[in-house]
Amino acid sequence: MSLQEKLAEISAAGAKRMPEEVRATMGKATQELRESGILDRTIKVGDKLPAFSLTNANGEMVNSADLLSKGAVVLTVFRGHW
């Protein structure tokens, strides 16, 4: 099974557990985002990101140029509060 197929399977399983009203709201929001043209402005595979500075998990500022000078960079974004 490909990653795309596995993700579709996980998404479908999650949707089955959601109330219809929630699915409808999420579907409408997704459609509105597509129609807004936002997908034309997203980063695509192979695109080069602009330089950036962010706070790391330890609260320290890091910048992409410094990180890239040491090798490949994997950027993970966490949303939420714990």
Rounded to 5 degrees, what are φ and ψ at 81? Answer: -125, 145
Q: Contact 69/79 with Cβ under 8 angstroms?
A: no
| Cα–Cα dist 29/24, whole Å | 9
User: Considering the domain boundaries, does residue 18 fall inside one?
Assistant: yes
- How many domains would you assign to the chain? 1
Q: Give the pLDDT confidence score for residue 26 in this predicted structure.
A: 93
User: Considering the domain boundaries, does residue 21 fall inside one?
Assistant: yes
Provide the whole-model pTM: 0.53
Best CA proximity match to 64, nearest among 47, 80, 44, 56: 56
Band of residue 81 on the pLDDT scale cut at 50, 70, 90 = low
User: Considering the domain boundaries, does residue 56 fall inside one?
Assistant: no
- Is a pLDDT exceeding 70 seen at residue 2? yes
Secondary structure (3-state) at 62: strand
- Is a pLDDT exceeding 90 seen at residue 75? no
User: Which residues span the domain enclosing 27?
Assistant: 3-41
Q: Which helix (H) or strand (E) holds 17?
A: helix 3-17
| 18-60 tens-digit pLDDT | 999 999 999 999 999 999 999 999 889 889 888 999 988 899 9
User: Considering the domain boundaries, does residue 71 fall inside one?
Assistant: no
